[in-house]
Amino acid sequence: MAKSKVNFLNTGVLNIIFLGILYAISYFLLKDVAIGIHSIWGTLVILVIALVPTVLWVLFYYVIDRKDPEPVFMIVAAFIAGIVCKLIFHDFIGKVLFDVEAWNINETAIPFLFTLFARGLLPALSIFFILRYVIYPSKYFNEPVDGMIYSAVIGIGYAFTMTMSEVFTAQSVSLYYLLFTLILKLLLFSSCCTLIGYYFGVARFKEEKKELYFGISLIILFVVFSLYAFFDNTFKINIQTSSDFTAIILTLVFSIVIFAVAYILIQRSIAKHEAKEVKALPFSIDKVSLITLIVILVLGMGIRVFIERDKTFVSYDNKISFHIPAAYKLDSENNDSISFSRQIPGDVYPVMIKIAFIQDETVILVGADFEKDKMIAGYNFSLDIKREPVNTNPQTGLLGKSRQGEIFSANIFEYNLIKEGKKIIVSFISPFDYHEDPFALVTKIVQSLKWEV
């Protein structure tokens, strides 16, 4: 194969220049421009604008392999694989199977585990498995640098999907912050993934110690993603809305350092190795993949069980005890009521529970849907559902832990329960888009309720 000369086009420099120009345009012309996403045209405009830096980053890695460029369909497949990584591993396995969003609550160890598992281990594992079982066996993986190219494109697909999923949860999007967020995340994730691809390239063309290189690649990616996550948490970086210039610069420097290492590794690999004919490898499961899969399943499900456990709350003032999910934190307690709240990750407003107790032989139960045969744990009950403004200021009695004093519209499920002169009022207060089952929660509290403790 004839050698391709190094030039301005096939080193990726032109792509970097275009990205710089794109950022400059967004900074000087689009900083105050925001687009709503609740219309078809708004959504299409955001998608088109978001695809520009994404395609530029993909082309950067595509043109850089000047000796034996990868087939276009494999580049597209790698990008789609990155999307699958985010949708299946993070959104399905992470959120549905392990419920990782619930880990980020105010307990000392849990936010640490959330960062380590959800932002470090899950992305690393998803990219590892896709690269190991989709790209690695392919006959088009015919030189060591291919591992870095394909893994970088997988990282681009992952970062693109992650950013767009955040964008579509907002009411409107600043075009400047959208472009800056994408450019930075695409830079970071593609560079980090290039590091894992380097060791896959070594393993593909060495006859021994393959599992060692698999293990090293996974550990490096996990460490780099975890470092970025802790770095992000420490400096409270929120690129889409942040005005903290120092935090943004530190994030950018971190990303550029990883990118520089990745770029050097790619250039060295291209210079040292020639492409050669290889056969597709048969499917086989290595020890690293098997052990890692078992560990993540056991660890993830174990932490979920721990998070979803109930705790026993004892109120000596009211002389009662009951069970409540551990995620709910005590806000206030007085002689006739107790208030709890739970901050849902990613939500501005908390979910709140207020429990009031009345011991009076004359109490009666009334309500729009009161029926004598409707009971919870021996208590007759009525339910009143309403939607009204709620104040998160502690002085009002309805307590929240975010934006104190701010009014927000909430669903209120008010259960009135009565048995033998004892009346309980349980108010479940939540943002309109939160879907926990109030009846199940009230049932848990009432079934475990003990008086005169």
| DSSP secondary structure letters along 355-388 | EEEEE-TT-----TT--TT-EETTEEEEEEEEEE
In this structure, are 42 and 153 located in the same domain?
Answer: yes
Domain boundary among 292, 307, 322: 307
In this structure, are 301 and 316 located in the same domain?
Answer: no
Give the tokens for residue 25.
Answer: 């345009």
CA 22 to chain centre: 27
In this structure, are 270 and 322 located in the same domain?
Answer: no
User: Phi and psi at residue 229, in whole multiples of 5°?
Assistant: -65, -45
**Which residues in 209-269 belong to E strands, given as ranges?**
none
Q: pLDDT at residue 6 above 80?
A: no
3-state secondary structure of 350: coil
CA 382 to chain centre: 39
Place of tokens 């070594």: 202
In this structure, are 242 and 335 located in the same domain?
Answer: no
**pLDDT reported for residue 1:** 43
Closest to 156 measured CA to CA, from 282, 273, 15: 15
Average the pLDDT over 43-64 and give the result. Answer: 86
**pLDDT reported for residue 400:** 37
3-state secondary structure of 163: helix
Domain boundary among 251, 276, 307: 307
3-state secondary structure of 277: coil
Q: pLDDT at residue 4 above 70?
A: no
User: What domain range is 41 assigned to?
Assistant: 13-307
295 vs 363, residue with greater confidence: 295
What confidence category does residue 60 fall into, taking pLDDT thresholds of 50, 70 and 90? confident
10 vs 440, residue with greater confidence: 440
Q: pLDDT at residue 206 above 50?
A: yes
In this structure, are 234 and 348 located in the same domain?
Answer: no
**pLDDT reported for residue 397:** 39
Report yes or no on 44 lying in a domain: yes
Report yes or no on 3 lying in a domain: no
The end-to-end CA distance of the chain, in Å, is 85
Q: What is the pTM of this model?
A: 0.74
User: Phi and psi at residue 422, in whole multiples of 5°?
Assistant: -110, 125
Q: Measure the CA–CA gap between 434 and 437, rounded to whole angstroms.
A: 9
Domain count, the chain: 2
Report yes or no on 7 lying in a domain: no
CA 12 to chain centre: 31
- Tell me the one-letter amino acid at 24: A
In this structure, are 301 and 339 located in the same domain?
Answer: no
Closest to 430 measured CA to CA, from 344, 330, 321: 344
Q: Measure the CA–CA gap between 397 and 405, rounded to whole angstroms.
A: 11
Report yes or no on 2 lying in a domain: no
In this structure, are 246 and 202 located in the same domain?
Answer: yes
> At 320, which CATH number?
2.60.120.1690
Number of other CB atoms surrounding residue 391 within 10 Å? 16
Domain boundary among 276, 307, 338: 307
User: Phi and psi at residue 423, in whole multiples of 5°?
Assistant: -120, 135
In this structure, are 321 and 391 located in the same domain?
Answer: yes
Give the tokens for residue 396.
Answer: 């009002």
Strand partners, 423: 358, 418
pLDDT tens, position by position, 384-419:
887 766 655 443 334 333 344 455 567 788 888 888
3-state secondary structure of 279: coil
**pLDDT reported for residue 152:** 92
Q: Measure the CA–CA gap between 255 and 373, rounded to whole angstroms.
A: 63
333 vs 95, residue with greater confidence: 333
- Tell me the one-letter amino acid at 81: A
Q: Measure the CA–CA gap between 248 and 236, rounded to whole angstroms.
A: 10
What confidence category does residue 82 fall into, taking pLDDT thresholds of 50, 70 and 90? very high
